[in-house]
Amino acid sequence: MLNDFAEQYNGLSTQTKLVVLHPQARRVHRFWRQLFLMQPRTVYVDLGQLDLKTGLALIAHALEAQLGVSVDLTADTRLAAVAISNALGDDTVLYLESYDSQVAEVFHELIVEVVNQLVEGSRVVVGGRRLFLPLLEDLRGQVALIPIDPHRMWLDYANSDGRPILEVRAFGEGQVWVNGRLVREWEGGLPRSLFFYFVDKAMTTRDEIFQIFWSHLGIKEATNVFHVTKKKISDILDDLKLTVYGGGFYRIASDIDLYYDVVQFQEALQNAAVLDDDEAEVLYRMALNLYREEFLRPSDMEWGIQRREKMRSDYIDAIYALGRIYENRGDFPRALGMYMRGAGISPTREDLTRGVMMIYDKLGQAQRVVETYDRLKETLRRVYNLTPDPQTTDLLHQMLGKYKK
């Protein structure tokens, strides 16, 4: 991730005077350390939950302590912005940490003024847990959002092509953004459930929809509820028409720029399966990062439960595949970590247990091999009243046979 940041930051035009660190990129707080390496004249300020007056005092203190420049920021916002930009001068970065919703609203006018006053080569960089859209809108042409990677669901809201951007994350409780705005109110569970069904299926028939959502209703009544719910979804999405109908199928409208974490997850796994280990590792790690939590937890609809189980299985497969890559390289600690991570999620999957046993065997830890096998044996007995597969038992005997010689 840090390499993505450095490459994209260094590729920015001198016309870019504001850089917003993408809140969806994990460990975004680590970027400021790299900023100091790339641009030594960097002034760091953590705004926390400060009001404007206290924040200006903190910025003044930082400018004096880190640049040796004394400024008076007690005047109005515009004069304070001029003073800050003059103090920064050429080739300097002002990095503002904790630029979140409440703080962003308080400091918005100041930041816009500072950016407009800056000379080329100097920049303001802001980082926070949430994206503050007015910054992107009011400074369009001077702002960049980084790092950007659609495959990781780090979307570029600063430079869109005019089409509506729909960002959908189904791993976890389910979150939706329309042009960067988080949908907070769904007006009940039905519009939300139907929305996620449409997005997840991509293409579906009316009969399939009715069977899943309204099998207890007659066709006429189900049709009425369906169209009312579709209209609600459109209203909730800022009048965005989610689907179109043709050839007997409902599809996601082609004029929507849709990014769906489940699709990115599945594509990463499919591509990784046919690549060499080095390239596959990158995609498997990307997939694991996308799978933040289980699919649409805690939805109890049957289609959601089935998808949750499928995604969970694919997730564990990715963990196992990554473990195999590390094992093939001889990186046994990381391989063991992957196998144990997978076995912790699915303790009855014997391929993961065999992976743990093989790593312990390679590390010469015979007692751990036996303990791992015994734990599997007890779990299978308790959960399914079964015994381990002969392949697993044979592996145990083969390993123990070496130590008896």
Tell me the C-alpha distance between 325 and 38, whole Å: 33
Topology of domain 2-152 in CATH is Rossmann fold (3.40.50)
pTM, full prediction: 0.88
CA dihedral 257, 261, 267, 270 (to 10 degrees): -170
What letter would DSSP give residue 141? T
What are the tens digits of pLDDT across the range 55-99? 999 999 999 999 999 998 887 889 999 999 999 988 899 999 888
What are the tens digits of pLDDT across the range 257-309? 999 999 999 999 999 999 999 999 999 999 999 999 999 988 888 999 999 99
Please work out, in degrees rounded to the nearest 5, the angle formed at the alpha carbon of residue 40 by the alpha carbons of 35 and 42: 65
Q: Please count the other Cβ atoms lying within 10 Å of the Cβ belonging to residue 270.
A: 12
Please give the full DSSP string across 217-283, using - where no structure is assigned. Answer: S-HHHHHHHHHHHHHHHHHHTTS---EEEETTEEEE-TTSEEEEHHHHHHHHHHHHTTS-HHHHHHH
Q: What is the domain class of 165-259 according to CATH?
A: mainly alpha
- Name the percent of the chain lying above pLDDT 70: 95
Topology of domain 278-404 in CATH is 1.25.40
Where do the structural domains in the chain lie, given as residue ranges?
A: 2-152, 165-259, 278-404
pLDDT of residue 29: 59
Is the pLDDT reported for residue 3 higher than 80?
no
Q: What is the mean pLDDT of residues 308-335?
A: 97
Residue 181 bridge partners (DSSP): 178
Sequence-separated (6 or more) residues with CB below 8 Å from residue 324: 335, 355
- Name the percent of the chain lying above pLDDT 90: 75
Burial class (CB in 10 A: 0-12, 13-18, 19+), 368: middle
What are the tens digits of pLDDT across the range 299-317? 888 999 999 999 999 999 9
Tell me the C-alpha distance between 214 and 4, whole Å: 47
pLDDT of residue 4: 76
pLDDT of residue 102: 80
**Tokens read off for 187:** 């007006």
Interhelix angle 302-329/332-345, rounded to 10 degrees, is 160
pLDDT of residue 28: 59
Is the pLDDT reported for residue 30 higher than 70?
no
Q: Give residue 10's pLDDT band: very low, low, confident or very high (50, 70, 90).
A: confident
pLDDT of residue 50: 76
What letter would DSSP give residue 119? P
What are the tens digits of pLDDT across the range 339-388? 999 999 999 999 999 999 999 999 999 999 999 999 999 999 999 999 99
